[in-house]
Structure 1
Amino acid sequence: MEPKKNPHLDVKRNSMLYFFMGMTFVLLMAYLALNWKTYYSEDTWDLGSVKVNEDLIEETPFLKLKLPDPPQPKIQSPPEIQIIDDEDDLEETFIKPNESNQDTKIAEVDDIQVVEDDIPDTVFFSVIENAPIFPGCENESTEKEKRECFQEQMLKHIRKNFRYPEVAQEMGLEGRVNVIFTVQKDGSIGDIRLRGPHESLEKEAARIISKLPKLQPGKQRGTPVKVPYSIPITFKLN
């Protein structure tokens, strides 16, 4: 005959219920532990105290500077007034007037010295009052037009008389010759100075300038003066 167990005494009867109850209790305790908040009873924090060595504290000395007293103003003594008796005779100073009258003698014209104008002997083309005039530019109305006409006629003269030196062509020489000449007081050309890459080119430039016609001289305050003028002549092979 098999032994029978009492169902009310079976230990495993409610094991699953006890397990879930235990798990629920553990989770609840863990949740409360994570969300538990604590508060300080005092609002002040103990930051500690810093001790400073009193030997390291230096006292700043106070310097008392005595400024010099301001200079005393000089008091000028009033002028001394001399009282003279009425009986004494005083000599009054007579001031002679400078104004002319009918008895004043007028100086002669020959006795008056006239200072001559200090006009320089040489004035540059860019600053002269009346620039030299190239033949054919006399009818220009303004000074500016006469200067422009002078430069245009100079370029025409160079193109008309230009001739490339044979020696320079054979040697393949090219370059620019800077030419400076002076329009003399009588309108002639003189004091020609040249600077170029080769002597043959300089000679050709001098020949072109020597063929310039006689010009009207430049004038400063109506007086003829020497006027230097510079122009470049370019030599270039085709």
Structure 2
Amino acid sequence: MELKKNPKADLRRNSSLYFVIGLAVVMALIYGALEWKTYDDNNDYDISLNVEDQLDEEVPMTEQIKTPPPPPPPAAPEVIEVVEDEEEVEETVIESTETSQEDEVMEVEDVEVEEVEEDVDVPFAVIEDVPVFPGCESASNKRACFQEMMNKHIRKNFRYPEIAQEMGVQGRVSVMFVIQKDGSIGGVRMRGPDKNLEKEAARIISKLPKMTPGKQRGRAVRVPFSIPINFKLQ
């Protein structure tokens, strides 16, 4: 017996269509599986920052200082007494200081202003008339004579301190003094390596004689002068 196939029952007739449909279904399932996402059921979590409070110390609260209220104003007197002024007050008459044409104007004589002499120190190197050392009055070069007489005075009165000799102290003492406007010596200052040497230098300067004061523009002025005194052991 020969079997006959029904053309309607032929499965290979629409096989390409079925293949495309199956391929589309498989791709849809794969895409759905890749895009599938799951979420937790409990969504009650805190999304705020977890900041630990590191301030363990207690911050004292600021106390508000209460100022006392101002005292109440004094009570007004109940009865105000009115005192009548029985005394007569004399009116003060202010006279005008303006001068009229009839008044005579007194002429004021010229007021003489006395010049105040200022103490000016003029150095020995620039003064016009140098101080005159006793014995240099007739010298042509009084400046050089002054220097020479000063050196003679130092050599004549020089005496080395014994305590400085025993200690082996030597050096130069710078002596500064001022020849005053009356020719006397003042303002003596010393600077040296030892107090004993400075004391001896001051003694030598104190023995200077009174001089003729120096003059600047014909007026006596103070003249500062400085000289070194050498102390040297032999």
- Normalised by the length of structure 1, the TM-score is 0.50
Do structure 1's residue 132 and structure 2's residue 131 form an aligned pair?
A: yes
The offset of 1:111, in angstroms, is 3.4
Percent of residue pairs identical: 67
| 140, 154, 164: which one aligns with 2:150 | 154
Structure 2: which amino acid aligns with 1:173? V
Unaligned runs of 5+ in 2: 1-108
Do structure 1's residue 205 and structure 2's residue 205 form an aligned pair?
A: no
Specify the alignment match of 1:193 in structure 2: 189
The offset of 1:121, in angstroms, is 1.7
| 160, 168, 175: which one aligns with 1:172 | 168
| 221, 228, 233: which one aligns with 2:224 | 228
Question: Which digits, 9 at most, give the CA deviation of each residue in 1:41-85, with x for residues without a partner?
Answer: xxxxxxxxxxxxxxxxxxxxxxxxxxxxxxxxxxxxxxxxxxxxx
Q: What is the alpha-carbon root mean square deviation over aligned residues?
A: 2.2
Specify the alignment match of 1:219 in structure 2: 215
Alignment: residue pair count: 128
Q: Residues 231 and 206 from structure 1, CA distance in 2 versus in 1: closer, same or farther, beyond 3 angstroms?
A: same
Unaligned runs of 5+ in 1: 1-109
Query: In structure 2, how many angstroms separate the alpha carbons of the residues matched to 1:115 and 1:185?
Result: 20
Secondary structure in 2 aligned to 1:111?
Answer: coil
Structure 2: which amino acid aligns with 1:111? D
Secondary structure in 1 aligned to 2:202?
Answer: helix
Do structure 1's residue 182 and structure 2's residue 181 form an aligned pair?
A: no
The offset of 1:140, in angstroms, is 1.6
Q: Residues 119 and 222 from structure 1, CA distance in 2 versus in 1: closer, same or farther, beyond 3 angstroms?
A: farther
Map of 1:73-88 to 2, 5 A cutoff?
A: none
Superposed structure 1 runs of 4+ greater than 4 Å apart: 112-120
- Normalised by the length of structure 2, the TM-score is 0.51
Q: Residues 118 and 215 from structure 1, CA distance in 2 versus in 1: closer, same or farther, beyond 3 angstroms?
A: closer
The offset of 1:120, in angstroms, is 5.5
Question: Which digits, 9 at most, give the CA deviation of each residue in 1:127-170, with x for residues without a partner?
Answer: 111110000000023xxx10000000000000000000000000
Structure 1: which amino acid aligns with 2:139? E
Query: In structure 2, how many angstroms separate the alpha carbons of the residues matched to 1:124 and 1:187?
Result: 15
